[in-house]
Chains A and B, each alone.
Chain A
Amino acid sequence: MKKISGAQILLEILQEQGVEVIFGYPGGAVINLYDHLPEYSCRHILVRHEQAAVHAADGYARATGKVGVALVTSGPGATNTVTGLATACMDSIPMVVFTGQVPTPLIGNDAFQEADIVGITRPCTKHNFLVKRVEDLERIVNEAFHIAGSGRPGPVLVDLPKDVIAGMSVKKDAVKPLLKGYNPNYTGHAGQIQRAMKMLFKARRPLFYVGGGAVLADAATELTALACRLNIPVTTTLMGLGAFPEDDYLSLGMLGMHGTYRANMAVTKSDVLLAFGARFDDRVTGRIDKFAADAKIVHVDIDPTSISKNVDVDIPIVGDLLDVLKKMLEVVKDSNEEAERCAAGHDEWLKQIAHWRDLHKLSYEQNDIIKPQFVVEKISELAKGYNPIISTEVGQNQMWAAQFFTFTKPRSWLTSGGLGTMGYGLPAAMGAQVAFPERLVIDIAGDGSIQMNSQELATVVQYNLPVKVVILNNGYLGMVRQWQELFFDKHYSSTQMSHAPDFVKLAEAYGALGLRAEKPEEVEPTLIQAFSHPGPVVVDVVVASEENVYPMVPAGEAISNMLLV
């Protein structure tokens, strides 16, 4: 059999794995790979910073459900991926990141552009590999894709020494992964599912608490079917937005620190709480002993470590959410009478929830200064017909986007939930736009966050990715300022962004369209202009500078204890 180089072997495997696009940045250690790249069908997007390559692969993965791929060089190229890997690891996003490495004989010598990236990224990857011999390359790369995409997904890093990718070997066909210690359980325990359903049928105040796992498992349809069949209200986490249509009367919106009043009250008063692919994060639970304190809890998750980590669970079910939900729907089918009775038995509970809804709606007062919530509502309204994908940065912009955009579809919401990475939104939007050139992809940004990766405007212009960046420009690091206002006597230490670029000119300098809205009546026409423009656009919206995100649960308080104004 003919020997080919490690670089060619790698690129052939990527082709076999169905990789359509690599987000990357070349350098000395990966130059051999780049030399062969044009011979393969896989598209390469040249980013302007390695962090953005990883966020773009992440955005691509969230929007498509496929494994995202990034490729960078050794040393600084590799260390620049760390934030992107940690972001993906916290949110369970499937991804394989290839890093160059100095030749194996030089490893450990403090060689030029050497970094122990496998050591550095061990805690922020699902797994990582250093390929020491070209003969191991094929097996390891196949294992990397298998690990990234199966079980609870996550990022995997593969470190490629230069002599390994330059070395010659024979490519075998479809080398199966050989992983003695890795065998995720997909099948939910039938007995546990029966018990859970029995408990659910009897519940007077049941509630579904749905996390990002429902999106990752592509289980939104089944979830919606179960909730609607049994007439059970649904609240989603930040990561779960889109798993249940928010225009349905059973939707309570998001729960947690900036959740809706009705969602947080419903959790507090529920008697049976079904957690689907959610991990009882501190931003969701607030004070843990007051979280769903009166409820029996059923927790469905593919990752056993998530179960009983933060709260005691009455019925744990380890398995793939799609499998478990299908089985739950079967139970419903087999116990039609009970299901009927269950569906008809929640009138009082739903009436109570409607009362909470009317008591404190998400609200703001639009006067002569543009309110950021108004902008998000307008985006939601105007983007409706375009099958939009929304990405966000982190902070107030993210929370307003989560609260005021009406999410109806899974995989149309890209946000750094667990790690809270500022600078995530633009590169993630870029990745999603590569996957879906025809869809409207909008990054809802803040004036602080956008400056963390604004260099990617060059990338979106180069590849004509028509991403729309809407900056809610309040001249502050708004979320920190809000905390300072509420809990630190308005001591605005280092949160005023007293010098920012002119974002319209910045867009123009990169060759994108720059637009600005300064008055409420300008918002709609400006957004319409942006959305109908065929190329990338930056919209600088000058919003009220000291607007706060409400409701807000102060850190460490029970989630029923909300600041409402």
Chain B
Amino acid sequence: MKHIINVLVENEFGVLSRIASLFSGRGFNIESLTVAETDDSTISSMTIVTQGADHIIEQITKQLNKLINVIKVVELTESEQMARELVLLKFAVNSGAKRLELLRLVEVYQGRVLELGPRSLIIEMTGERAKVEAALEVLGPFGIKEMSRTGMVALARDSCK
């Protein structure tokens, strides 16, 4: 099962590397990892998406807690969190029917057009994982030229705290 782990860390150099090497050194898997400063500039927040049996997830959270620079670890399954991902997509489509079809589908997925050029366009899409995956599947045949994904960011739902 997919698990999302929110980690509050001290905002210091080398912390990301400590987390990454913990995962690689112990053979844990990272599906995505996002990191950014919080409202307190001495603290950063990381969202790590990982997979594994319960005892693996338990080890991951314990090992994260053991790192000196880690302040807090909250591990929840996907359903216990509000999780979103942002993806930017560049398509090489000229004006014409194909482009109109693409724009219509982008609208269905509540995407936004960020740049519209004569030969290409960039769109932005956010949503939960399932929605982003579905959109990619539908939009894929239009020929994605480049793609950039943030990976998940998440907050625990209050009802699950």
**A residues with CB within 8 A of B:** 118-119, 122-123, 126-127, 130, 147, 179-182, 303-305, 308-309
Closest residue of A by beta carbon distance from B66: A305
The distance in angstroms between the C-alpha atoms of A182 and B70, with both chains bound, is: 8
The distance in angstroms between the C-alpha atoms of A122 and B15, with both chains bound, is: 10
Q: For the A-B complex with A181-B69, A182-B68 known, give 17 more contacts whose Cβ atoms are closer than 8 Å.
A: A119-B14, A119-B17, A122-B18, A123-B21, A126-B68, A147-B68, A179-B68, A180-B10, A180-B71, A181-B9, A181-B10, A181-B68, A181-B70, A181-B72, A303-B66, A304-B62, A304-B65
The distance in angstroms between the C-alpha atoms of A495 and B72, with both chains bound, is: 50
**B residues with CB within 8 A of A:** 9-10, 13-14, 17-18, 21, 25, 55, 58-59, 62-63, 65-72
Q: Are B62 and A305 in contact (CB under 8 A)?
A: yes
Rounded to whole Å, the gap between the CB of A378 and the closest CB of chain B is 43
Residue with the greatest number of chain B CB neighbours at <10 A, chosen from A123, A126, A181, A308: A181
Closest residue of B by beta carbon distance from A128: B14
Rounded to whole Å, the gap between the CB of A146 and the closest CB of chain B is 10
Chain A residues, CB < 8 A from B18: 122
Rounded to whole Å, the gap between the CB of A556 and the closest CB of chain B is 19
Q: Identify which of B59, B63, B68, B72 contacts A127 (C-beta below 8 A).
A: B68
Q: Are B9 and A308 in contact (CB under 8 A)?
A: no
The distance in angstroms between the C-alpha atoms of A147 and B67, with both chains bound, is: 11
The distance in angstroms between the C-alpha atoms of A126 and B66, with both chains bound, is: 9
Closest residue of A by beta carbon distance from B13: A130
Closest residue of A by beta carbon distance from B25: A123
The distance in angstroms between the C-alpha atoms of A180 and B72, with both chains bound, is: 9
Closest residue of B by beta carbon distance from A151: B66
Q: Are B25 and A181 in contact (CB under 8 A)?
A: no
Closest residue of A by beta carbon distance from B63: A305
18 intermolecular pairs with C-beta atoms under 8 Å apart: A118-B14, A122-B21, A123-B21, A130-B13, A147-B68, A179-B68, A181-B9, A181-B10, A181-B69, A181-B70, A181-B72, A182-B68, A304-B65, A304-B66, A305-B63, A305-B66, A308-B55, A308-B58
Chain A residues, CB < 8 A from B63: 305
Q: Are A305 and B69 in contact (CB under 8 A)?
A: no
The distance in angstroms between the C-alpha atoms of A122 and B63, with both chains bound, is: 14
Closest residue of A by beta carbon distance from B9: A181
Chain A residues, CB < 8 A from B9: 181
Rounded to whole Å, the gap between the CB of A351 and the closest CB of chain B is 38
Closest residue of A by beta carbon distance from B55: A308
Q: Are A309 and B21 in contact (CB under 8 A)?
A: no
Chain B residues, CB < 8 A from A122: 14, 17-18, 21
The distance in angstroms between the C-alpha atoms of A407 and B109, with both chains bound, is: 72
The distance in angstroms between the C-alpha atoms of A127 and B69, with both chains bound, is: 9
Rounded to whole Å, the gap between the CB of B20 and the closest CB of chain A is 10
Chain B residues, CB < 8 A from A119: 14, 17
Knowing A179-B68, A304-B65 are in contact, say whether A309-B59 is a contact too (CB < 8 A): yes
Chain A residues, CB < 8 A from B71: 180-181
Rounded to whole Å, the gap between the CB of A140 and the closest CB of chain B is 11
Q: Which 7 A-B residue pairs are closest in the complex by CB-CB distance?
A: A181-B71, A305-B62, A127-B68, A181-B70, A180-B71, A182-B68, A304-B62
The distance in angstroms between the C-alpha atoms of A304 and B70, with both chains bound, is: 15
Chain B residues, CB < 8 A from A126: 68
Rounded to whole Å, the gap between the CB of A117 and the closest CB of chain B is 12
Q: Are B59 and A305 in contact (CB under 8 A)?
A: yes
Chain B residues, CB < 8 A from A147: 68
Rounded to whole Å, the gap between the CB of B139 and the closest CB of chain A is 40
Closest residue of B by beta carbon distance from A184: B66
The distance in angstroms between the C-alpha atoms of A305 and B55, with both chains bound, is: 11
